[in-house]
Amino acid sequence: MVPVVSLLALWAFATVNTAQDIARLSRVQQADAEIHTPVAAAVTELQAERRAAVRLLADPAADPGALDQQARRTDTAVQRLRMGDRHTVADAGDYSSDVVVRLGAFVAAAEALGSARKDIAERRATPEAVYAIYNRVVDSAFAVGGALTGGEKAELGPDARVLLEFARAGELLSREDALLAAPGPRSAETLRQLTGNIESRRALTDSAARDLPAAQQAAWQSVAKSAAYADLTGAEDRALASGTSKESRGAPAGWEAAHTGIAASMQEIEAAAHAAAADRADPVREGALSPAGAAVLLGLAAVAASLVISVRIGRALVVELVSLRNTALEIAHRKLPHAMERLRAGEDIDVTAETPPGPPADDEITQVGEALGTVHRAALSAAVERAELASGVSGSSSTSPAAARCSCTSSSPCSTRWSGAPTTRTSSATSSASTT
């Protein structure tokens, strides 16, 4: 009994652990689908809008329609995170308060870009101010990613922190592009910001790339060794070397093509890493393939087999019990009454033939059947013996008057004393005659 209880306890423990793992992995998929993916899409649109806004303010010949179209795409991406007028998708997903607050702050900051867009369209803002405004909005978006990947109760798990750092490196590359998009000469402040972005992007990319999954790490190493990446770093070095001189106008030669290719590669690597993480986080497969999940499946198989065996044994027991009940009813209602009628009719009954012994009992139910047969045999034997005894007594009573004859020859009344019923009757008659 104790080993069975121990096995059940272990199986229950494995079941609870597997259920918790499945719930956690389902939570990861939910957070990725409801928050992380829409926020990443909104960040991509904000980066494109920032570049268009800075270029519009720095270049009087730029087309304002491009900014309007990009602004509508940004609003559409941000609207996917909104639920009603006052809530976000985090409010309905039972997320931590930190995620709810940060997502609400990002959505509010993105929706507050309307006044900045109006100033940009009317050219009342400076490129530096607009650059800072969009940077703050994007930073609030990355703060949401930090809440999803940081802390003890990270919604996306600690492994997603590496992807967040890699995404920040891509954001720094986008900021470089926004600063280099201005056609005019760079100011000292622009150069300072460009220098910080370049150095931070290089350091963050190197550190994050080393911790990427193996496939994505190999992909980045291939990108880092490519000619496009060499052109990118060369253009960055030339931009820093030109400083604030007249040669610092616009982006260096080769920047546009190199930036486009490297930015696309970084986005592809990040998307592939997220896809691989989502595939690894499949709740059913991960739960079933884990040791605890295997124990749960084996336990379920054992339970199913036990149920099948129990049903089959139960059905066999029911059949045996029904047969035992029918046998008892047949003995009580048919066999014994029929035997008694035959005995009253003076027929002879063979007890052994009427109650043949069954096979040896090997379980409790057959033992009960054997006991029932023994009771039947005993009852029938008692009835037969009583019938034989009654038949013997009746024969003795019918022959006693003939045998009990008086031996005296005198004519006087016989004084011999009779035994039995006939004697009593004769004595009574004699007494009556004497009295008369």
Q: What is the pLDDT of residues 116-126, one digit of tens each?
A: 999 999 889 98
Tell me: the pLDDT tens digits for 231-247? 999 999 998 888 888 76
Tokens 């609030």 sit at which residue? 140
> How many C-beta neighbours within 10 Å does residue 27 have?
19
Angle at 431 between CA 425 and CA 435, to 5 degrees: 150
Distance between CA atoms of residues 342 and 336, nearest Å: 10
Q: Which residues of 391-423 are buried (b: 16+ CB within 10 A; e: fewer)?
A: eeeeeeeeeeeeeeeeeeeeeeeeeeebeeeee
Tell me: the pLDDT tens digits for 130-163? 999 999 999 999 999 888 887 555 556 656 788 8
Distance between CA atoms of residues 263 and 223, nearest Å: 11
Tokens 């993916």 sit at which residue? 37
Residue-level pLDDT at 401? 43
Residue-level pLDDT at 137? 96
CA dihedral (285, 290, 296, 297) in degrees, to 10, reads 50
Residue-level pLDDT at 225? 94
Phi and psi torsions of 350, nearest 5°: -90, 110
Residue type, 9: A
Distance between CA atoms of residues 182 and 177, nearest Å: 9
Distance between CA atoms of residues 385 and 383, nearest Å: 6
331 in Cβ contact with 372 (< 8 Å): yes
Residue 85 CA to chain centroid, in angstroms? Answer: 35
**3 Cβ contact partners less than 8 Å away, ≥ 6 residues apart:** none
Digits of tens for pLDDT over the chain (436 positions)?
A: 556 566 556 656 556 666 655 566 677 777 888 888 899 999 999 999 999 999 898 887 778 888 999 999 999 999 999 988 888 999 887 788 889 999 999 999 999 999 999 999 988 998 889 999 999 999 999 999 888 887 555 556 656 788 889 999 999 999 999 988 877 778 888 889 999 999 999 999 998 988 888 889 999 999 999 999 999 999 999 988 888 887 667 788 889 999 999 999 999 998 888 777 666 555 555 555 556 556 666 667 777 887 888 888 888 888 888 888 888 888 888 888 888 888 888 788 887 877 887 777 777 878 888 888 888 888 878 888 887 787 776 555 444 444 434 444 444 444 333 333 343 333 333 333 333 3
Tell whether pTM > 0.75.
no
Q: What is the 3-state secondary structure (H, E, C) of the chain?
A: CHHHHHHHHHHHHHHHHHHHHHHHHHHHHHHHHHHHHHHHHHHHHHHHHHHHHHHHHHCCCCCHHHHHHHHHHHHHHHHCCEECCCEEHHHHCCCCHHHHHHHHHHHHHHHCHHHHHHHHHCCCCCHHHHHHHHHHHHHHHHHHHHHHHCCCCCCCCCCHHHHHHHHHHHHHHHHHHHHHCCCCCCCHHHHHHHHHHHHHHHHHHHHHHHCCCHHHHHHHHHHHCCHHHHHHHHHHHHHHHHCCCHHHCCCCCCHHHHHHHHHHHHHHHHHHHHHHHHHHCCHHHHHHHCHHHHHHHHHHHHHHHHHHHHHHHHHHHHHHHHHHHHHHHHHHHHHHHHHHHHHHCCCCCCHHHHCCCCCCCCCHHHHHHHHHHHHHHHHHHHHHHHHHHHHHHHHHHHHHHHHCCCCCCCCCCCCCCCCHHHHHHHHHHHHHHHHC
Using CB atoms within 10 A of its CB, is residue 240 exposed (0-12), middle (13-18) or buried (19+)? Answer: middle
